[in-house]
């Protein structure tokens, strides 16, 4: 019997107790945290949907793999296992481990960007754009317009690059000023939206015609492959593994945060096909991460990552993961809660402007909503709106993203459908009394990546 929502495709072998603080303690906790959910302590949270980054539950095989860690300073066998696995599943020639995704972003950006260059991307990601700009690049968003509209739910591949925008940038600044296009699969900040294989091919053709490299942000490539399998014609019968391989066959390398689709708690890597770039990257990784055969990771972490990559390609695993997101989304949708649609691969994004239509964007509706959700239910979520978008590096003005969202991110293999029921019920209750939620103002605004440590007070 196949149900609409099949149960978790795993049994629970070890448990971690969780506690719900009382209402007054939660009030106290969020005030102490400056109305920033990043500054709450984990033990103050009940269900923690802050992020799916590094919050994954590893399998019994991954835990067993930790015991096979070869902690040699150089040439650990776990590195060779990881290298072989990444080559097999991603198809890139050279693999350099890094402590996490941003370590790979740092190396790629430093080695390929000259001041005054342009790096196009299908919407930005916080740390990715930070490293591009830190090295003097101008970031240009070339995602399709529909991605910026939370209400367009008729677009199956909202992460697609608008080829005309990419072409216009080439015409405008010249291909020699564009070292690479950063192609995110899926697009986190657009709501976990996928890119179609057709679009990947088109981007690759245009880029390569002009000598521009295609570098993937591969962080959620398995989720992207699932959407291709279920939404793109001709891929119904192709395995997740083969879809991932094909996606990457059109590019020149990738940065990867292992904390997402490698189902581990730490790790990442950089892949390239270009031998010179690889040689330069090995010279740089020793300065910032460690030997090219460990890149800031323990041998055991590399082993867990290699096993996680193989497990992530399993159809039952990935269909359960994406269906959990859909389950939560459909419950909220039935109650009329405004969200980014279609639902993405790792999270539900509440549309905070729709939810709190009585607040201006300068009153930080998404920040206010994520604090209110915590206060109401003990559920921790994250702002992805004007606070995360930061300020323009040149003018100092706030970026004002059209998407002002609160992200409910589902960790991999951690929570069950019953946990999601609690989350949905709490948010629906809050929606019914939404006009009681107040706007916020800065108490302390950090100069970069301000969402991590910024503090607010209630208006
Ligand atoms: C998490 C993430 C990164 C950065 O990876 P870290 O491992 O957190 O450094 C880059 N891109 C996307 C899309 C991400 O979600």
What residues form DSSP beta bridges with 455? 444
> Catalytic site residue 177?
no
Q: What is the dihedral of CA 232, 238, 242, 243, to 10 degrees?
A: 10
Rounded Cα–Cα distance for residues 138 and 147 (Å): 21
> Catalytic site residue 260?
yes
For the chain, the residue count is 459
Express each pLDDT in 131-182 by its tens digit: 999 999 999 999 999 999 988 999 999 999 999 999 999 999 999 999 999 9
> Catalytic site residue 157?
no
Express each pLDDT in 173-215 by its tens digit: 999 999 999 999 999 989 999 999 999 999 999 999 999 999 9
The CA 202 to ligand 1 mean position distance, Å, reads 25
- For the CA of 187, the nearest atom of ligand 1: 13
The pLDDT, as a whole number, for residue 448 is: 85
Please state the separation of Cα 223 from the chain's center in Å.
11
Please state the separation of Cα 74 from the chain's center in Å.
31
Rounded Cα–Cα distance for residues 441 and 365 (Å): 10
Residues of the chain predicted below pLDDT 50: none
- For the CA of 217, the nearest atom of ligand 1: 11
> Catalytic site residue 94?
no
> Catalytic site residue 126?
yes
Q: What is the dihedral of CA 48, 49, 54, 60, to 10 degrees?
A: 70
Contacts of 57 (CB under 8 A, 6+ apart): 411, 412, 413, 414
The CA 228 to ligand 1 mean position distance, Å, reads 21
Candidate from 38, 53, 296, 409 with most ligand 1 atoms within 8 A of CB, to mutate: 53
- 1, HSE (Cβ side, Cα atoms, 13 Å): 3
Please state the separation of Cα 220 from the chain's center in Å.
7
Contacts of 245 (CB under 8 A, 6+ apart): 89, 90, 91
Select the CATH number that applies to the domain covering 23-52+315-458 from these four: 3.40.50.720, 3.90.1150.10, 3.10.105.10, 3.40.50.1820. Answer: 3.90.1150.10
Domain chopping of the chain, boundaries = 23-52+315-458, 60-312
Residues at CB less than 6 angstroms from ligand 1: 53, 100-102, 125, 127-128, 184, 188, 217, 219, 257, 259-260, 268
The pLDDT, as a whole number, for residue 77 is: 97
The CA 45 to ligand 1 mean position distance, Å, reads 23
Q: Given the residues 52, 217, 252, 301, select the one marked as catalytic.
A: 217
- Spelled out in words, what is the top-level CATH class assigned to the domain 60-312? alpha beta
**Residue nearest (by alpha carbon) to ligand 1 atom 8:** 101
Give the global pTM: 0.95
The pLDDT, as a whole number, for residue 3 is: 84
The pLDDT, as a whole number, for residue 295 is: 96
> What distances in angstroms separate CA 197 from CA 23, 152, 157, 242, one per listed residue?
48, 21, 10, 12
The CA 127 to ligand 1 mean position distance, Å, reads 7
Rounded Cα–Cα distance for residues 324 and 345 (Å): 9
Rounded Cα–Cα distance for residues 145 and 161 (Å): 9
């Amino acid at each position: 019997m196949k149900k609409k929502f099949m149960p978790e495709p795993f049994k629970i072998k070890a448990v971690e107790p969780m506690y719900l603080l009382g209402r007054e303690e939660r009030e106290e906790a969020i005030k102490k945290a400056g109305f920033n959910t990043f500054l709450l302590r984990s033990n103050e949270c009940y269900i923690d949907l802050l992020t799916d980054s590094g919050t994954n539950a590893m399998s019994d095989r991954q835990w067993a793999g930790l015991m096979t860690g070869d902690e040699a300073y150089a040439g650990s066998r776990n590195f060779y296992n990881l290298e072989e696995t990444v080559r097999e599943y991603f198809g890139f020639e050279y693999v350099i481990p890094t402590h996490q995704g941003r370590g790979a972003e740092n190396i790629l950006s430093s080695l390929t960007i000259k001041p005054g260059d342009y790096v196009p991307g299908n919407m930005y990601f916080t740390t990715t754009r930070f490293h591009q700009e830190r090295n003097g690049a101008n970031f240009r968003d070339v995602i399709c317009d529909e991605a910026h509209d939370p209400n367009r739910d008729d677009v199956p591949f909202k992460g697609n690059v608008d080829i005309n925008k990419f072409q216009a940038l080439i015409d405008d600044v010249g291909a020699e000023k564009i070292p690479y296009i950063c192609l995110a699969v899926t697009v986190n900040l657009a709501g976990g939206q996928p890119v179609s294989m057709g679009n990947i091919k088109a981007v690759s053709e245009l880029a390569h015609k002009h000598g521009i490299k295609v570098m993937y942000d591969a962080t959620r490539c398995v989720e992207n492959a699932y959407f291709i399998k279920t939404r793109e014609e001709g891929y119904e019968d192709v395995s997740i593994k083969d879809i991932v391989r094909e996606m990457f066959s059109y590019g020149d390398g990738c940065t990867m945060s292992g904390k997402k689709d490698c189902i581990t708690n730490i790790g990442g890597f950089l892949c390239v096909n270009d031998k010179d770039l690889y040689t330069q990257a090995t010279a740089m990784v020793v300065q910032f991460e460690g030997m090219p055969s460990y890149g800031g990771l323990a041998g055991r972490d590399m082993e867990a990552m290699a096993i996680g990559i193989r497990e992530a390609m399993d159809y039952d695993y990935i269909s359960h993961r994406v269906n959990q997101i859909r389950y939560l989304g459909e419950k909220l949708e039935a109650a009329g809660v405004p969200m980014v649609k279609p639902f993405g691969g790792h999270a539900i994004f509440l549309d905070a402007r729709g939810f709190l239509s009585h607040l201006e964007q300068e009153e930080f509706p998404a920040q206010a909503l994520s604090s209110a959700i915590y206060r109401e239910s003990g559920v921790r979520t994250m702002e992805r709106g004007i606070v995360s978008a930061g300020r323009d590096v040149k003018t100092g003005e706030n970026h004002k993203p059209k998407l002002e969202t609160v992200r409910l991110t589902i960790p991999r293999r951690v929570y069950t459908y019953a946990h999601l029921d609690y989350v949905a019920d709490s948010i629906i209750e809050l929606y019914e009394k939404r006009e009681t939620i107040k706007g916020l103002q800065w108490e302390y605004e950090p100069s970069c990546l301000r969402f991590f440590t910024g503090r607010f007070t209630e208006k």
